[in-house]
A = this chain, B = another copy of it.
Amino acid sequence: MSPHRPTQRDLDPHLHRYARRTAGMTASEIRALFAVAGRPEVVSLAGGMPYLPALPLDSLAEELAQLVLTDGMTALQYGSAQGTPALRERICEVMALEGIRAHPDDVTVTVGSQMALDMVTRIFCDPGDVVLAEAPSYVGALSTFASYQAQVVQVPMDDDGLVPEALDAVLGALRAQGRTPKFLYTIPNFHNPAGVTLPVARRAEVLRLCAEHRVLIVEDNPYGLLGFDGQIYPAMRASTPDNVVYLGSFSKTFAPGLRVGWALAPHAVREKLVLAAESATLCPPTFTQFVVSRYLAAYDWKGQIKNYREAYRQRRDAMLAALAQYLPPGCRWTHPAGGFYVWLTVPEGLDTKAMLPRAVSYRVAYVPGTAFYAERTDSPGPSPTDAFPGDTFPAGRLMRLSFCYPTPERITEGVRRLAAVLEHELELQRTFGSVRPRPMVGPQSPSPDTA
């Protein structure tokens, strides 16, 4: 044993070799907690895992065996970097439900829509480039933007999603600085994590503002077909094919373990996307593309989506009822009309990140709100959002609750436990006074647990 004390350099002899972007890649502090949260006795309201028992495994097993026997030689072989033509045609049929008219040539199949996000960022963002996103935004997107050293400027939302006036103000402030954002990343339907939906009139307003400022829109829409009353909103891409890159996914409407997503992009952008994807993975898995194609051809996939919707609606109802019944005064939360998530604000003085260990000891887990905000401290130069003192979102008082995976009974029990945690924290506050919330840190790296 060497007698000298180990330093960080000793612990990682490769430390001097990493790229600058790698410095920003750090594991979430809450990751260890989620390992504990995975125990069966904990009700996890943290994860974004779909409720798969709704799937018809018997018929899937049969279809898959047939697929191997009839198409095995092709399905197990390399394929095109853009994805199989058959699946890209099917994807156009799926998008038609949202009013999108698209040609399969403009679709690029990706390894989940996460890879689409990665590819879009790769082709557009140099280090220091500005990307706009909602505040809060999907943790996996923030992590991707960080890995390309983009500067994320987050635009306030309200119960109707992105606030056009706030977007206008941010765009104006950036223009005054001579900076043009590379794109606006937005989740218009059943937002992750906020659970809100952008009304049709606001979509038009956002499209108009982005056109005016020549800012591309990246429309991420994994939950669009999961509206609980069956309403399907028109995609922003439907009216504006030239200025929107649309991201879709089969993870929530079929199964995430296949990792099949896609990007629909203006033709010239699509060419770049395919070249980027080719150097990233050569081609997406041919086999899982065949599985999705066959599923869409052979099975009542719209009926399956109805089953999912119904399962999630029941869970949403259970969560909203439990929140109303158990939570202490001073809490407020969003009322999602679809998707997976409720966004909860806890009473003043509480800190959702600081109280997470207690929650886990009470056998309930959630994702603290700070995970959904980009870190501002390492932004180069003054942050444009500093110009908006109104944007003092109480990130420390926020949390994301997911209702996608546990049964309604478990959701009710989980919220009951969460209420006990909040009561306990409020009791502490009354006894010892308010603790100052910790400064925001984020984005933590995503994981399927927090996605």
Contacts and interface: CB of A to CB of B under 8 A. Distances in A.
A64 interface: yes
Nearest to A278: B445
A1 interface: no
Given A19-B126, A447-B81, A53 B25 contact: no
Nearest to A271: B27
B281 A257 contact: no
Interface string A215-226: 010000000000
Given A55-B72, A64-B64, A259 B279 contact: no
Given A52-B76, A72-B60, A257-B78, A19 B129 contact: yes
B285 A258 contact: yes
A259 B284 contact: yes
B281 A112 contact: yes
Contacts of A143: 278-279
Nearest to A72: B57
A268 interface: yes
Max count, chain B CB within 10 A of own CB: residue among A80, A146, A278, A451:
A278
A12 B267 CA distance: 8
Interface string A1-34: 0000000000111110111111001110000000
Contacts of A320: none
Nearest to A81: B447
Interface residues of A, number: 91
A37 to B, nearest CB: 14
A291 interface: yes
Interface in A42-65: 48-50, 52-53, 55, 57-58, 60-62, 64-65
A303 to B, nearest CB: 18
Interface stretch (A115-123, A193-201, A230-238, A428-436): A115-123
Contact of A272 (B25, B61, B69): B25
Contacts of A76: 52, 55, 255-258
A205 to B, nearest CB: 22
A267 to B, nearest CB: 8
A224 to B, nearest CB: 19
A388 to B, nearest CB: 25
Contact of A446 (B79, B266, B278, B447): B278
B285 A259 contact: yes
Contacts of A112: 281-282
A125 interface: yes
Contacts of A50: 77
Given A53-B73, A61-B65, 7 more contacts: A12-B269, A49-B78, A50-B77, A52-B72, A76-B255, A114-B281, A144-B280
Interface of A: 11-15, 17-22, 25-27, 48-50, 52-53, 55, 57-58, 60-62, 64-66, 68-69, 72-81, 111-112, 114-115, 118, 122-126, 129, 140, 143-144, 146-148, 182-183, 216, 242, 251, 255-259, 266, 268-269, 271-272, 275-276, 278-288, 291, 445-448, 451
13 contacts: A14-B216, A17-B182, A19-B123, A19-B148, A20-B126, A58-B69, A61-B64, A74-B257, A112-B282, A140-B278, A278-B445, A279-B445, A282-B447
Ranked 7 nearest A-B pairs via Cβ: A78-B448, A12-B268, A257-B286, A76-B255, A61-B68, A76-B257, A65-B65
